[in-house]
């Protein structure tokens, strides 16, 4: 009998489409993490930070709903920032707070 080590999460986008999400496959997680690492470089600029997070979510959408991964306007019209945070959380396990800060940062050796 097979055992799942992850839970799936359903999210209804603002355009009414429902997507089923689970952690990213390693092949997509690599690309996701490369992009996510750049958020530190633009952390003082809210617009640029949001752009990086949207790009991360769009990478995740390659697994969840590819039609949203190829067209930023389509994705941005179907998602709000809370949805972006949720997509990032499910895709990577990185939980962002309401301001988009990585809540794990304080726990990962930043003493």
Does any domain span residue 86?
yes
The parent domain of residue 50 ranges over 44-98
Ranges of beta strands (E only) in 1-111 are: 9-12, 18-21
- Given a cut of 70, whether residue 96 has pLDDT beyond it is yes
Does any domain span residue 4?
no
The structure's pTM equals: 0.83
How many domains is the chain partitioned into structurally?
A: 1
Q: Which helix (H) or strand (E) holds 106?
A: none
| Structural tokens at position 76 | 């941005």
- Distance (Å, rounded) from C-alpha 64 to C-alpha 20? 6
- Distance (Å, rounded) from C-alpha 87 to C-alpha 23? 9
pLDDT on residue 97: 75
pLDDT of 27-44, one tens digit each? Answer: 999 999 999 999 999 999
pLDDT of 1-31, one tens digit each? Answer: 667 777 899 999 999 999 999 999 999 999 9
Q: What is the distance, to the nearest Å, from the Cα of residue 72 to the centroid of all Cα atoms in its chain?
A: 14
- Given a cut of 60, whether residue 45 has pLDDT beyond it is yes
Does any domain span residue 54?
yes
Does any domain span residue 28?
no
Does any domain span residue 25?
no
Does any domain span residue 9?
no
Does any domain span residue 5?
no
Does any domain span residue 22?
no
pLDDT on residue 1: 66
């Amino acid at each position: 009998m097979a055992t799942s080590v992850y839970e799936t999460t359903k999210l209804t986008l603002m355009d009414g489409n429902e997507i089923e999400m689970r952690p990213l496959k390693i092949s997509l997680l690599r690309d996701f993490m490369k992009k996510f690492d750049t958020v530190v470089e633009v952390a003082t600029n809210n617009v640029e930070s949001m752009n990086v997070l949207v790009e991360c979510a769009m990478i995740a959408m390659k697994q969840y709903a590819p039609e949203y991964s190829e067209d930023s306007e389509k994705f941005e019209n179907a998602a709000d920032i809370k949805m972006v945070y949720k997509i990032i959380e499910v895709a990577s396990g990185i939980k962002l707070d309401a301001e988009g800060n990585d809540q794990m940062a304080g726990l990962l050796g930043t003493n």
